Amino acid sequence: MKIRLDKYLTEMSVGSRSEVKKAIIKGLTEVNGETVKKPEQKIDPALDQVCFQGRRITYAAMEYYMLNKPAGVISASEDRHETTVVDLITEKKRKDLFPVGRLDKDTEGLLLITNDGELAHRLLSPKKHVDKVYYAKIAGKVTEEDKKVFAEGVDIGEDKLTLPAKLHILKSGEESEITLTIREGKFHQVKRMFHAVGKEVVYLKRLRMGSLVLDENLKTGEYRALTDEERRTLTGENE
């Protein structure tokens, strides 16, 4: 599908639409080795080679990044006062990236950053029941009884109990360690579930969302593009 040259450059974060138009008119853009001065010229992103001020600008219709979110960063696309998860993706080409779902400001771990709205809907839709796996440290002794309560559904003050969740106890004591698999994404859900059984989450990290597993080589705050296999599995191309 062909698109306008100014739209192509704007989507690839070269500048604002007005800035790009002025630059094209000044003759700062080449398409297939020839200078183009018409912002409205149509090009094929799959076939045409575009250079801006001598720099090759490759087109990406979709981008997919895995971020190991650090605490203190908000799950948003932009914010006037705080650092967002999208701000951390410094090598992004597109301006329309967003986080798929939210992690609380103090929560760490796996977060998918993309501009694929269809994929985001599929992962977040309550009807899809996509598994989300968390590791947590809990103030208080997590017990087998807690496992039973979580497996049956927890009353967190809403009309319905939470969906059944799988609680695995790694360590039980004054500070317990657990992994928890849930199939929803309610506001502060993990914290509210433990609060309902008289305990407090003191550290929370997401490890997995659907088929996507946090890369253990990614340090907190680091990110990487998804591999082709990760992307195909997430988007259903392997089905």
Residue numbers annotated as active site = 104
Q: Hey, what amino acid is at 93?
A: K
Asked if 184 contacts 162 with a C-beta cutoff of 8 angstroms, the reply is yes
Asked if 8 contacts 40 with a C-beta cutoff of 8 angstroms, the reply is no
List the Cα angle 1/239/166 in 5-degree steps: 125
Phi-psi region of 136 (alpha: psi -120 to 50; beta: other; left: phi over 0): beta
b or e along 201-218 (b: 16 or more beta carbons within 10 Å of the residue's beta carbon)? beebbbbbbbebebbeee
Residues listed for the chain: 239
Tokens 């999208």 belong to which residue?
86
Which residues lie across from 68 on neighbouring strands? 110
